[in-house]
Structure formats: C-alpha cells, structure tokens
C-alpha cells in the first residue's frame, strides 16, 4: 500500500454526469486516491456546485481545464499526481496532452479520443513526457475476466478456435437524443462522439475485452454498421466478423437498440480442449467446459489463478461487481504511478494504457472504412 494517498484533479464529471461519479467512487474504494482539485463543468455555477459536493476547496475549483493545469503545475508540496479526464470524447485530447506536458500522469475515460489523429498525438505526448497514461477499460478489472485470461495463457482451452464477443443494450431503442437527454445527445453527435456511435461507446469495450483476455490482435475485419434510430446520425448496431492469427475466427456484436438487453457484455472462447464464457451481468462466475466433461461453474474467490485471485477483495459468495472492477484499475494505476515516480520496476498486471487507446481508435476507424467499402479490411490497410 502507498505511504500516502495519491492526489488527483478531475476534468469533467460535474452534476448530471454519468461516468464522473463512478470514477470518484472507484478511486476512493481502496483508499489509494484523494480528489483535491477539479474543473468539473464548463458552466461556472455547476462547476462550483460540483466542487462543493466533492469537498474540493474553492481555490482549487477551476472554470476551465487550462486554468486548472496552469495553477496546479505551479504548486509545490500539495501538487497533484494525476489528472482524470471524464469529458465527452472530443474533449479528451487537448487537456490530456497539456497535462502530460505539465508533468502529470493521466487517467482517461475511453475511447481515448474522437479521432485516430488525436489519439496518436496523445501517444506522442505520453511517450515524450515519461508519465503514465491509463485508459479506463473497466472490464479488464474484473477478477473473473483476469481468471479467464490466466486460463487462456495456461493452455486450459488448448488451441483457441473461436472468439465471440457481444455488448447489447437497449437504452437508445427510442430516439432519446431528440428528447433533451444529454447523455444520448452527445453520444449520438459526430462532432462530440467521433465517427462511431455504439461502435465507439460500447463496441470498443467488447473489442478490448477479447484482445485483453486472448492476447490476440485482429488481422482483418468486416463490419456492418446500422443506425435504426429515426434520424440518428451515428451507428447504433454493429455486426462484425474478425480474423485472428493461426486460423482463429471471431464475431463481435454491439448494439444499443435491443429491447430487453440492459447492459449485457458477454465473452465466449472455444478451443481444442474446452470453452469458457463470462457474462458481465453475472460477473462473479465463469462457465468452463472441458471437452468430454460436464460444464462447471467457477466462482470468484481467493483461490483463483494468478491475477484473478489478486484482484479479489471479498471472500467467495460475497458478490463483487462494476465498482470493484473500476476500483481495481485505480489501485493498479496507483501502483504503476508510484513505481514510475520511483524509477522502480512495476509489478502492476494488465493495466490498459496508451497502446490500447490507439488500438481502439484504429479499430473504430477500420470498422468505419470496412462498412463504407462493404468489404473485408486487412490490418495492413487499417489507417495509421
């Protein structure tokens, strides 16, 4: 554990935001972080109210991210360690680059940016700064996801054959963006969300989850993007075929217009020796089926393999979920930052970072190109 809590500032995430409060709860859960500054909203009144709600001192509540970075960079003993960015996608790049250039570590919500060009600029800034850049792909923090990864690495499934990933929601089954719903409005606006709708919002989660667990990189994809919402400008449904190395085949489905599907993220892997399946709505269990044997349900507990057990907080049969997974990313981030600041080796396992962010933006861009061409797109033709 740390000798002190790491200090952070937050950009975005003020009153009415969805993901900002989740970040703050996750950062507090393991007592590794302290929120001390923020530019929580572009509206001064909402920013001040949000700061008061978060117990941020008035002199460390800022009207914009530029003022925050300039003022916090000038502080000495109580200087922040990191800046957390939870704004809409199009407002990630500029504050992230400025924060890195000012010497701060950055924790950023996904997708990393609204365009591949922005993501690459962020990657250059991170490399030049020597600071940590952590991307909050939440599902990489679940113990049973890390257990699944350990099972693949140990060879329990044999030679991997099939990867099935889907992320299904129903919240955009009606045109909420036309009904003064702020979350729907920015997520379906190309100027703020980028070129992908559901593709960038949840498709990147499914894509990263499959890559994180298997360690495989897609060699080619064929994407079919649809917008079923009346007047909707970005996709709300994606079907995709994926080709991986060594003949492994995959399918990805991401949708926000499937009635009855609240928030179902599911990953299924099938190999020559068995299969394993994880469902985010039942996060404490894995269904494991060795070939020729009955299926068995593995449950979260301290006897899990490798990093699966390391990330378990409670005894078995005491449920853990989304907030604990998110908190694991923050705990891992604290370990990585402390090691980096001390110029020491980091033992932090499997923390999504700048490379994952750029890969996610390449995935979005490649899927858009494939959909437009109505054709397979090999990785050699993915935009760089």
**374: region left, alpha or beta (phi > 0 left; psi from -120 to 50 alpha):** left
Residue 3: pLDDT above 70?
Answer: no
Residue count of the chain, please give it: 384
**Structure tokens that stand for 217 in this block:** 């990189």
pLDDT digits (tens, 9 = 90+) for 253-274: 999 999 999 999 999 999 999 9
On the question of a common fold for 6-139+329-352 and 143-314+359-378, the answer reads no
Contact 69, 99 (CB under 8 A): yes
**What angle do helix axes 93-101 and 116-129 make, rounded to 10 degrees?**
10
**What angle do helix axes 204-214 and 143-154 make, rounded to 10 degrees?**
40
Residue 121: pLDDT above 70?
Answer: yes
Look at residue 345 in the predicted model and tell me its pLDDT. 81
Percent of residues, the chain, with pLDDT higher than 90: 89
Query: Which single residue is written with the structure tokens 């061409």?
Result: 373
Note the pTM of the prediction, 2 decimals: 0.93
CATH architecture for the domain at 6-139+329-352: 3-Layer(aba) Sandwich (3.40)
Residue 333: pLDDT above 90?
Answer: yes
pLDDT digits (tens, 9 = 90+) for 202-220: 999 999 999 999 999 999 9
Residue of 110, 101, 190 lying closest to 358 (CA atoms)? 110
Question: How wide is the angle at C-alpha 356 spanned by C-alphas 222 and 308, nearest 5°?
Answer: 105
Look at residue 346 in the predicted model and tell me its pLDDT. 76
> Is omega for the bond preceding 111 within 30 degrees of 0, making it cis?
yes
Residue of 117, 119, 116 lying closest to 108 (CA atoms)? 119
Residue 1: pLDDT above 70?
Answer: no
Percent of residues, the chain, with pLDDT higher than 70: 95
The mean of the pLDDT values for the chain is 94
pLDDT digits (tens, 9 = 90+) for 288-317: 999 999 999 999 875 665 555 556 667 677
What is the DSSP track for 116-148? HHHHHHHHHHHHHHT--EEE--GGGG-HHHHHH
- Helix, strand or coil for residue 323? helix
Worst-scoring range by mean pLDDT, 26-40, 121-135, 340-354?
A: 340-354
Where are the chain's structural domains?
6-139+329-352, 143-314+359-378
Look at residue 2 in the predicted model and tell me its pLDDT. 46
d(CA 2, CA 8): 15
**337: region left, alpha or beta (phi > 0 left; psi from -120 to 50 alpha):** alpha
What is 143-314+359-378's CATH number, 3.40.190.10, 1.10.600.10, 3.30.360.10, 3.40.50.2000? 3.30.360.10
Segment 218-226 shows an average pLDDT of: 99
pLDDT digits (tens, 9 = 90+) for 278-288: 999 999 999 99
């Amino acid at each position: 554990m740390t000798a002190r809590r790491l200090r952070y500032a937050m950009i975005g995430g003020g009153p009415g935001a969805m993901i900002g409060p989740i970040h703050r709860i996750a950062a507090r859960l393991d007592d590794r972080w302290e929120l001390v500054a923020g530019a929580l909203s572009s509206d001064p009144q909402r920013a001040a109210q949000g700061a008061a709600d978060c117990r941020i001192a008035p002199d460390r509540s800022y009207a914009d991210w530029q003022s925050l970075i300039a003022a916090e960079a000038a502080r000495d003993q109580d200087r922040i360690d990191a800046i957390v960015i939870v704004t809409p996608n199009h407002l990630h790049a500029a504050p992230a680059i400025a924060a890195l250039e000012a010497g701060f570590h950055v924790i950023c919500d996904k997708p990393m940016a609204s365009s591949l060009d922005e993501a690459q600029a962020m990657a250059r800034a991170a490399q030049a700064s020597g600071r940590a850049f952590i991307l909050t792909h939440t599902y990489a923090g679940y113990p049973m996801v890390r257990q699944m990864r350990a099972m693949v690495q140990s060879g329990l499934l044999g030679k991997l054959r099939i990867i099935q990933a889907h992320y299904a929601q129903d919240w955009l089954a009606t045109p909420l963006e036309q009904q003064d719903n702020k979350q729907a409005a920015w997520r379906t606006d190309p100027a703020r969300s980028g070129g992908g709708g559901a593709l960038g919002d949840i498709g990147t989660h499914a894509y990263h989850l499959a890559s994180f667990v298997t360690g495989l990189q897609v060699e080619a994809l064929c994407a079919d993007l649809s917008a079923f919402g009346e007047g909707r400008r970005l996709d709300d449904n994606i079907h995709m075929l994926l080709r991986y190395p060594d003949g492994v085949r995959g399918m990805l489905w991401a949708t926000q217009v499937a009635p009855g599907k609240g928030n179902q993220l599911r990953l299924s892997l099938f190999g020559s020796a068995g299969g394993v399946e994880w469902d985010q709505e039942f996060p404490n269990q894995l269904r494991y089926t060795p070939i020729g044997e009955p299926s068995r349900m593995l449950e979260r507990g301290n006897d899990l393999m490798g990093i699966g057990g390391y990330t378990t907080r409670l005894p078995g049969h005491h449920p853990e979920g989304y907030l604990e997974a998110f908190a694991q990313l923050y705990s891992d981030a604290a370990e990585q930052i402390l090691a980096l600041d001390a110029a020491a080796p980091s033992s932090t396992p499997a923390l999504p970072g700048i490379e994952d962010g750029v890969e996610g933006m390449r995935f979005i861009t490649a899927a858009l190109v494939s959909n437009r061409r109505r054709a397979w797109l090999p990785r050699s033709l993915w935009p760089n």
